[in-house]
Amino acid sequence: MQKEGVDYTTTFSPVISMLSLRLVLVLILQENLHSYATGVETAFLNGDLGEVVYMSQPQGYGDGTGKVCKLNKSLYGLKQAPRQ
């Protein structure tokens, strides 16, 4: 399980640097090209996890025995999600 200060303080998000973005925009303008933008809202959820991650069951779910779940895919808020 993730424990604050133990195994999830380092995060990574694969995004373009501002310098690279400016360079691409200048090239688009110089070459009279068109640019399009899109976003994938569920991109983080579709990546396979590179490590085994367990989570406690949400409150009100399950039988109250304190069982944990092994994650097969990422969840919102999971610190490992952007690394996929």
Contact between 10 and 80 (Cβ < 8 Å):
no
Q: For the segment 11-58, what is each residue's pLDDT rounded down to a tens digit? A: 656 667 788 889 999 999 999 999 888 666 666 666 677 788 888 888
Question: What is the structure's pLDDT at 48?
Answer: 73
Question: What is the structure's pLDDT at 82?
Answer: 61
Report how far apart, in Å, the C-alpha atoms of 78 and of each of 20, 42, 44, 63, 72 are: 28, 13, 9, 24, 12
